Every structure is written in C-alpha cells, then in structure tokens.
Amino acid sequence: MKHIKIQNEKDTRSGFGAGLAELGRKNPNVVALCADLTGSLKMNEFKDENPHRFFQVGIAEANMIGLAAGLTIGGKIPFTGTFAVFSTGRVYDQIRQSVAYSNKNVKICASHAGLTLGEDGATHQILEDIGMMKMLPNMTVICPCDYNQTKAATIAIAEHQGPVYLRFGRPKVPNFTDENQKFVIGKADLINEGKDVTIIATGHLVWKAIEAGRILLEKGINPEIINIHTIKPLDKKAVLDSVRKTKCVVTAEEHMMNGGLGDSIAQLLGAEMPTPIEMVAVNDKFGQSGKGEDLLTKYNINTPDIVKAVEKVIARK
Amino acid sequence: MEIQELKNISTQVRRDIIRMVSAVKSGHPGGSLGCADFFTTLYFDTMDNNPNNFSIGGVNEDIFFLSNGHISPVFYSVLARKGYFDVSELASFRIIGSRLQGHPSVDKGLPGIRIASGSLGQGLSVAIGAALTKKLNKDNKLVYVLTGDGELNEGQIWEAAMYAAGNKVDNIIVTVDYNHKQIDGDIDNVLPLGDLKTKWQAFGWEVLEMDGHDFISIKKTFAKAKSLTGNGKPIVIIMTTVMGKGVDFMEGTHKWHGSPPSDEQEQQALSQLQETLGDY
C-alpha cells in the first residue's frame, strides 16, 4: 500500500464547493440553493460567479427542497446545500414526494455528516442519512472519500439524470485519490489488492481502512480494500468478486449500523454468497460533543476497530 | 369562453367526479366539487396551455400545480375534458395499474401532471421553483397553483410565502380554496386561520378575493391577477367556495371530504347534474 500517498489534508466540503464552482462555469443549467449555510457548504465561489443562479432560501429547508423540485421543471439542475441532518431527516417527506417519487433531477448535497462534525454534538451529527436516502426508489446515494473524489463526484452527478444524495463532511482529512480521476457512479474503487479479507469502506472511513491495512500487513494479513463511494446503486460485482477470493468481509462507515453500507453489503452477501461479516459502524447510539477523532474512537469506528474487526472475521472463516 | 359553455363543462366535470368516486367507492368528492368551476375556468379560459403536446417542462406555456392533491378527481376530469388524455381513461381512477392514481403522480406518465402531490404543503414551493425557472429561461408565461385552506396549516406554505415575496417572484398566481372545511370539521374548530387576507398581505403578497362559483367573478379576478404579474409581488386569490357544490346533500359539510356516495346517493347526485357533454 506504499503507492497510496497523502497529497494534502483538505475537507470534502471544499471539494464540493470546487466542483460546484466548476459546474457553474461550464453548465448554464446548474443552479444552487442554500439554507443559510453558504460559507459552511463552501458555495461562495458559485454564488459570487453566478448570482442569478444562486438562491438563498433562508433557514427553510422544506421550501428549499420544493423549490429545487420546481426548478427542474423547465430544465434546471438544482444543487441544494445544507448540513446532512437538515438535508435528510428534516425534509424526508419533501424529498420522498416532490423529488424521489416525482423523479426530479435534484442533487441533494449534504455536508457535516456523521460524528466528525465534532463539537456541535448529536443534534447535528446525523448517522441515519444514508439509510433514509437509500430506501427511496429512484435515489442514487454517493459518499466520496476525500477532497478530490468529492469534487469529481459533484461534477459527475450533474450529468446523471435523476435524484442524487451526495454526502460529505466537515473536517480536513487526507486527500489521496487522483486529482484527475473520472468519477463513475456505481463503480467501486479497488484501493488495494489483497487476499485474506475484504475491507469495504465509504467516506472518511476509507482512509481509516488504508491505515488499518498498513497495520494488518505488518501482522502478515493482506487485505483487499474497496472504496464504495456509491452506496446505491451498489457495485455488486466488485463486492462479490472480491469476497469470492477472500471469504470474509469487514465494512467501515461513519454511519449507523442499521441502514448503512454494511447493511447493504450484508443483504447482498446473504442473498448471493453467505460470508462472515463484521461491521464497523455506530451501533444504535446517538453521538455527542467532542473532537472528531476522539469520537471515532469513542464510538468504535476508528482505525484500531477496523483492525480488530478484521482479526475477528478472519477467525470466523 | 362564454359563461354558458363554462357552465356546461363544469356540470359535466361534476358528473365525472361523482361517477369516478362512486365507481371505486373511494376518493374525495367534496373539495373536488367545490373546485369544479375554478378548474374549468382556469383550463378552458384563463391559461395558455398545450394539451396536445404535453411536456413536463412546460416551456412557453402557462403551467398549473395542484398542491392539495386529494382533489384529484376534478383535476383528472378537467384534464381529460380539455384533451390531455381520453375521457374513457377516467374509468380507471384508483384502479390497480391506472395512470389516475388516488393522488396525482408522474411516474405513470399521465399527461397534465408535473409533480406528485398529496402530502400537503409542498405544491407552493414547487410552483415557486418552476416560476424561478421560467424567469431564468426568459419564459414570460405564468405559473398557477391551487392550495386548500386546511393545507395552510402546514409550515412549509409560509416558508414558501416568505420566499416568494422576499424575492419578488411575480410570475405566480396562487389560489386558496377557502371552503372553511378540513377533515376534522370547520377550520375554525381545527386550527383557526385568523384573518387570511391580512396574513398574506403581511407576508408581502398582492391579495385578491373571488367567489369560486361565480364565473364572472372568476374570469374577472383571473384577468386582474394576470394584470398584476410582473410588478414585483406574488399574487394570491382567496377563493370562497362551498365544499360539495352542485349536489345538495353534499354542500357545506366536511362529511364528504373523503367519503364516496352509496349507489343510491350517486343516482340522487347525478339527477342534479345534467349530462351536458356526454359521460365517459
């Protein structure tokens, strides 16, 4: 895994901001809406360059989703921006009826997802959003792992016809994927070829999986590491091809165990290839205030937890 | 269109409504009957729309959104009578596999429908969004939307009202079906709306009022509303209606909000509504 190098540390939300700004320059149909969090969502560049295509809606997320659904009628491609907690649970019914059921071309862009939001605490640390969004028919669910990938994903979803949920976060994290990558929705990234276990991670936990992989290699365990940036539709082939080889799986995500990535993988394996699986995810608890890293440790979803889960699942083979 | 022609269409639409909900013993006749005159005037007199070449985008034509989706029978009947689809399809209302879902939807491709509605409070936001797109596209046609009065209980309505006025969305004409009734009874007993006119005015809207069963009033008020567009303010028409209008035993009560008539009541209702254009 020596080939994976940290280029710098950047927040994924800035990747969204950069991608949106680029879209603003090349696609005149892209419009953006924000519910009083323009700075937090890094939408200022788009706003400054395209004032007539930027809609400040105030602290009124339900209206924002409705406006976005309406803006598609006549050909616009709206990107909504607010925290993940307000992008999903607060407006679930609006997304369900006006966006997903109506199959509108709305891109719901959600920052500050998960525990690494940090000190603001559980009211803001949504851990259920992937579950809520993946349950909706027509919805594509994407959770990129770093700055470069979030930027590429933001640009890619404008080309996809249909509703998308794009999840990203607040803290600066290692930026290690290719700056010029082509983001393909629904296509898993193979980060490391291995043979003893398949580690499937999404979002911020992809880097943690790489850290865990380095520790495992020193212990003589050679893990295959897959980045699932698209949780729905799931790249079933990539998962099954790997698991056929390794015969056991660990999933890792900054999300609730119920309804998350691990849940999707378990559903797939249960149907196609019953295999021992361990899930590194938050187990039916709300978060709390603290530093992001400390919270990942406290809620047992940090690097050492992935290592432990791998050792446990290999023993179950 | 002449008043007598509008009356003929509206009477047939009321027959359609009664026959649709009676056939499946399901649906919402009360509010549908109350809005028959509104829908008829809107689609046959007021709007510049294109029934023969429907597209969801609706570029360069007036478009309409039904926010209180439960009154789908009147919407479907008027769309069919206007030529969006064949009137014979009204017989499929609420039947499995039908394009005429209980509440309007787009997934089955019924011409005339641009968004799903049923969960209340969402249509005004959607309509404002569509109005913003018309402005971006330099499309001078208008966006119309109907909401119920009980629906105004929903907070999203007032989020949208604040947005439209604050951002000068002046190419939209909202109508509130002010029949004073919601499922649990009189609106004053469920959640009083207070002074509705003053409320909308305080939110920065141009407010008009009309009698939703007087075609002269409806035509005049729509004309006035159109003349007020483009002046920096969104427009709302508070339309007084009688729930169940046109069928004597259904008028003025919330009992028929979501209840179909029995076979006997259906015959009694149809005897009060002349078959003007031919039943489907």
Residue B268 and residue B14: Cα distance in Å, rounded? Answer: 13
Per the annotation, the verdict on A211 as an active-site residue is no
ipTM of this predicted structure: 0.97
User: Which residues of chain B are within 8 Å of residue A53 when distances are taken between CB atoms?
Assistant: 136
State how far the Cα of A137 lies from the Cα of A101, in Å rounded to an integer. 7
pLDDT at res. B60: 97
Residue A237, min C-alpha distance to chain B (Å): 29
For an interface test with A, the pick among B122, B124, B141, B157 (most A C-beta atoms closer than 10 Å) comes out as: B122
Cα→Cα distances A55→A46, A97, A192, Å = 11, 22, 42
Q: How far is A29 from chain B (nearest CA, A)?
A: 9
Nearest CA in chain A to B105: A102
Of A61, A224, A253, A278, the active-site residue reads A61
Report the C-alpha gap between A302 and A307 in whole angstroms.
9
Per-residue confidence band for A3, with pLDDT thresholds at 50, 70 and 90: confident
Q: Which residues of A touch B166 (CB under 8 A)?
A: 58
User: In the numeric block, which tokens belong to residue A256?
Assistant: 């609730």
Q: Would you tell me how many other CB atoms lie within 10 Å of the CB of residue B271?
A: 9
C-alpha pair distances (Å), B258 with each of A42, B115, B185: 47, 22, 12
Q: Say if residue A2's pLDDT is above 80.
A: no
Continuous segment of H or E residues that includes residue A10: strand A8-11
B143-148 and B63-66 strand pairing? parallel
Q: Phi then psi for B211, rounded to 5 degrees?
A: -90, 115
Q: Where are the beta strands (DSSP E) in B22-83?
A: 63-66
pLDDT score recorded for residue A1: 80
CATH of B3-270 given 3.40.50.970, 3.30.450.20, 1.10.10.10, 3.40.50.720: 3.40.50.970
Question: Domains in chain A, start-ordered, CATH in brackets?
Answer: 10-175 (3.40.50.970), 189-315 (3.40.50.920)
As a whole-number percent, the residues of chain A with pLDDT over 90 amount to 99
Instruction: Supply φ then ψ for residue B241, to 5 degrees.
Output: -135, 170
Q: Would you give the end-to-end CA distance of chain B in angstroms? A: 23
Which value, in Å, is the radius of gyration of the alpha carbons in chain A?
A: 19
Helices (H), B66-191: 72-82, 123-136, 155-166, 187-190
Mean pLDDT, chain A, rounded, equals 98
* Model pLDDT for residues A228-278, shown as the tens digit of each residue: 999 999 999 999 999 999 999 999 999 999 999 999 999 999 999 999 999
Report CA dihedral (A107, A111, A63, B110) to the nearest 10 degrees: 20
Maximum Cα–Cα distance for chain A, whole Å?
A: 59
Q: What is the pLDDT along chain B (280 residues), one digit of tens a residue?
A: 999 999 999 999 999 999 999 999 999 999 999 999 999 999 999 999 999 999 999 999 999 999 999 999 999 999 999 999 999 999 999 999 999 999 999 999 999 999 999 999 999 999 999 999 999 999 999 999 999 999 999 999 999 999 999 999 999 999 999 999 999 999 999 999 999 999 999 999 999 999 999 999 999 999 999 999 999 999 999 999 999 999 999 999 999 999 999 999 999 999 999 999 999 9
A157 contacts A18 by C-beta, under 8 angstroms: no
The pLDDT, as a whole number, for residue A19 is 98
d(CA B167, CA B154): 21
Cα A111 to Cα B29: distance, rounded to the nearest angstrom: 45
